């Protein structure tokens, strides 16, 4: 318990109360043993004084799995510790001492190696595979970006251009001249106010010239 108190003294240095998240962040930065970090994670959210944390952790730290070789953990204990080592990775990398980072690297490497030994093919989610992504593309009503289409995927595999995106590979874009035009819209496109006289003018021009009038006025 004296070792735990010394560790938390460093965490609480010049601070009377700290939030649970700040306690845990400082503990990681102070190279606190993983069993203490795990125990701190079990604290309810809130602010704590040093003696409150010591009381909360009393009798719990000794029951954790710290120091046990990965191959001696049962599957549930092993997966919990693997999850915990990954969860604390960011804070250790950014804020931990050199020793803390080195210890974290070693423990994570040991745990990940043991994971691959137990599950050599890993627990792969089919939805993360290319076949799963392809299946999602064809779900009814699903809208996908062009870069996620089968055509783009095949082009990447073949190191070839995407036919529909290549010059001449797809129909030319539709222009305003190819759309059906109402006389009112045509009058506005021609720069005229949509008065009855101008709308009538537009109706007459469209009737007489048809598509040619639109191509002349609309880009």
Q: Tell me: the pLDDT tens digits for 157-193?
A: 655 565 555 555 544 444 444 556 788 888 888 888 8
pTM for this predicted structure: 0.38
**Final residue in a domain of this structure, among 100, 118, 136:** 118
Query: Does 29 share its domain with 134?
Result: no
Residue 209: domain span: 176-217
Query: Does 188 share its domain with 139?
Result: no
Query: Does 88 share its domain with 137?
Result: no
Query: Does 8 share its domain with 111?
Result: yes
Whole-number Cα distances in Å, 93 to 18, 22, 30, 129, 188: 22, 16, 12, 30, 62
The conformational region for residue 31 under phi > 0 = left, psi -120 to 50 = alpha, else beta, is: left
Distance CA 95, CA 91 (A): 6
Q: What is the pLDDT, as a whole number, of residue 63?
A: 43
Query: Does 188 share its domain with 159?
Result: no
User: What is the tally of structural domains in the chain?
Assistant: 3
Question: Does any domain span residue 171?
Answer: no
Query: Does 189 share its domain with 150?
Result: no
Query: Does 6 share its domain with 94?
Result: yes
On whether the CB atoms of residues 41 and 91 are closer than 8 A, the answer is no
């Amino acid at each position: 318990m004296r070792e735990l108190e010394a560790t938390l003294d460093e965490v609480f240095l010049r601070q009377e109360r700290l939030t649970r998240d700040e306690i845990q962040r400082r503990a990681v930065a102070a190279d606190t043993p993983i069993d203490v970090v795990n125990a701190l994670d079990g604290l309810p959210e809130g602010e704590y004084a040093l003696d409150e944390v010591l009381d909360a952790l009393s009798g719990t730290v000794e029951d954790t799995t710290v120091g046990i070789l990965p191959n001696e953990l049962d599957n549930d204990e092993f997966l919990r510790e693997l999850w915990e080592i990954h969860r604390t990775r960011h804070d250790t990398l950014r804020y931990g001492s050199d020793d803390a980072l080195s210890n974290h690297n070693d423990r994570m490497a040991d745990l990940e190696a043991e994971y691959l030994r137990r599950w050599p093919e890993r627990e792969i989610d089919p939805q993360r595979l290319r076949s799963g992504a392809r299946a999602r593309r064809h779900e009814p009503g699903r809208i996908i970006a062009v870069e996620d289409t089968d055509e783009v995927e095949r082009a990447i595999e073949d190191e070839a251009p995407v036919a529909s995106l290549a010059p001449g590979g797809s129909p030319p874009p539709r222009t305003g001249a190819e759309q059906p035009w109402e006389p009112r819209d045509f009058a506005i496109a021609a720069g005229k106010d949509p008065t009855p006289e101008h709308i009538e003018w537009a109706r007459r021009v469209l009737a007489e010239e048809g598509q040619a009038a639109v191509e002349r006025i609309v880009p």
